[in-house]
Structure 1
Amino acid sequence: MPKQLFHHLNKFISVSEDEFYNMLPYFEQVCLKKKEILVSAGSLCTHHHFVLEGCLHLYFITDKGVERTVQFAIENWWMTDNLAFHNQTITDFSIQAVEPTKLLSISYEKQEQLLQEFPQLEKYLRSIYQISYGASLVKMRYLLDFSKEEMYFHFTEQFPEFAQRVPQYLIASFLGLTPEYVSEIRAKKRS
């Protein structure tokens, strides 16, 4: 049994083990290799993904061919293009494994069925979406209020689990910096 999801649910709502066992058939377990693509831009966004182990990043490619990371997800985090998933439309984003990753994935249709059978999950998902939206606002503040150097150091100090696990080029992409600039900042700090 994927205990991580059971414990995560119970941080926000009350779910018994019996209820949880009845919820599990709605999900499929997915295993990804490092750098394997889970979702490609231009495809229909059909699933919501809960990370059991590993790390994902959601990104897009700019008109100039530059990869821009929008979001990361590590253990106990959900990831999808929320708007495309909600509307069941084509996504402009791709999702890729940063490291070997195990997920529980649920389709839009199965999630709707699950919510019908277990309405208490509405509160859980609302909490998850609120946290996700709040994190997006914090990122916008970083981008608008901090210098590039402050943004990098604030991010690595506030989220050391990412600084240790995620390659620097992806952190640079997430913060809107170049990998070369991140190298300069790090070198300056060491000297």
Structure 2
Amino acid sequence: MYQSLLDHIRRYVDLEPSEIEVLCSFLSHRHVAKKTFLLEPGKVCAANYFISSGCLRLFFITTSEQEQITHFGLENWWIADYGSLTSQRPSQYYIQAVEDTEIIELKASVQDELLAKVPKLERYFRLVLLRAYTASQRRIEFMNNLSGEDRYNQFTAMFPDFAQRVPLYMLASYLGFTPQFLSKIRAKRN
């Protein structure tokens, strides 16, 4: 049930069998149906979610009432509103399943206890969050230095399978333009 997470952890740190046993005792597995919300504004982010299969999205509603996707989570990625998770204050974000998704939850209420019992996981989470932060920095650069069309072309070249998995309006939101603009770009390509 937790094999995908254990394989992911193994890429960063080696856990002893006893540490794996402790880790698994703190986790829970859940199926999340497509379109189900794990988080909504005004609620506290209760857990860090590891995606075994499927896709989740993190987004907010802009002042002009548009969805703005800030993050997609695919297989072997973690997703949470880390600001809400760490402060235990209400979130401004939604987390929603784009597809039927299998997640492994690590509840915020037990995370510190787990890290105290399995200190190697501090290193694991630090390395994972550093990679995520670096990706976020690159995305900001990407959004500010490339035209909308160039963003779309580069993204679909780098992630062709993913670009086919999500609805076009979500891809447009993530890339920072309207679905209509995306339709024009796609029409030019055909």
TM-score normalised over the length of structure 1: 0.96
- State the one-letter code of the partner of 1:103: I
Shift, 1:161, TM fit: 3.0
Shift, 1:18, TM fit: 4.0
Structure 2: any 5+ residue segments left out of the alignment? none
For residue 144 of structure 2, what is the aligned residue in structure 1? 144
- State the one-letter code of the partner of 1:33: A
Asked if structure 1 preserves the Cα contact closer than 8 Å seen for 2:45 and 2:88, the reply is yes
Q: What is the CA RMSD across the aligned residues, in angstroms?
A: 1.1
Kindly, what percent of the aligned residue pairs are identical?
35
Q: Matched residues in 1 for 2:44 and 2:143: separation?
A: 30
Shift, 1:19, TM fit: 2.4
- State the one-letter code of the partner of 2:22: N
Q: Matched residues in 2 for 1:146 and 1:127: separation?
A: 28
For residue 187 of structure 2, what is the aligned residue in structure 1? 187
| Cα deviation code 1:149-170 (max 9, x no counterpart) | 0011111111223212111111
- State the one-letter code of the partner of 1:73: G
Q: Matched residues in 2 for 1:157 and 1:89: separation?
A: 38
Shift, 1:27, TM fit: 1.2
For residue 99 of structure 2, what is the aligned residue in structure 1? 99
Asked if structure 1 preserves the Cα contact closer than 8 Å seen for 2:26 and 2:110, the reply is yes
- State the one-letter code of the partner of 2:107: S
- For 1:54-93, list aligned pairs within 5 A: 54-93=54-93
- For 1:27-176, list aligned pairs within 5 A: 27-176=27-176
Asked if structure 1 preserves the Cα contact closer than 8 Å seen for 2:22 and 2:118, the reply is no
Distance 1:161 1:21, change over 3 A: farther
For residue 5 of structure 1, what is the aligned residue in structure 2? 5
Three-state SS of the structure 1 residue aligned to 2:11 is helix
Shift, 1:109, TM fit: 2.0
Q: Matched residues in 1 for 2:18 and 2:171: separation?
A: 40
- State the one-letter code of the partner of 1:172: A
- State the one-letter code of the partner of 1:77: W
Runs of 4+ in 1 over 6 A off after TM superposition: none
Q: Matched residues in 2 for 1:181 and 1:16: separation?
A: 51
TM-score normalised over the length of structure 2: 0.96
Shift, 1:16, TM fit: 3.2
Q: Matched residues in 1 for 2:102 and 2:25: separation?
A: 16
Q: Matched residues in 2 for 1:161 and 1:137: separation?
A: 23
Q: Matched residues in 1 for 2:161 and 2:59: separation?
A: 19
Three-state SS of the structure 2 residue aligned to 1:12 is coil
